[in-house]
Amino acid sequence: MVGLALNVAGAQQPLLWILPAMVVIPVCAAPLWLTPTHFFVGSALFYATAIGLLLGAPRSADVDIVVWMWVAAIGMPTAVVFHFGFYAFRRNHFLLSRISWRNWRQPIR
């Protein structure tokens, strides 16, 4: 996030320049978090850092509306769907592999 903040320093509308990263980074990172707790804590820390770094930046009401629409209405729900979709897939795959491993080890009667 510090790199993103440094890249937009001096821009007239820094939130518009940082918007793609604020949407893409959590969406792409969502499947990598191992548990829902990791996902919620990691996403909250990412957004808290972004908001903290950009609070003093000049912005207009129109830019705020666009940014919050993309972050809150598109980015966060998409990250949630990606995380829980991949989490369910990993969990089911793990459970199936445990069942098949147990069945494979059983003696043939």
Tens-digit pLDDT profile for residues 50-108: 777 777 766 778 877 887 888 888 888 888 998 888 888 888 877 777 666 555 565 55
> What distances in angstroms separate CA 90 from CA 41, 48, 55, 70, 93, one per listed residue?
20, 28, 37, 28, 5
Q: pTM of this prediction?
A: 0.66
pLDDT score, position 107: 57
pLDDT score, position 106: 59
- Residue 93: count other Cβ atoms within 10 Å of its Cβ: 10
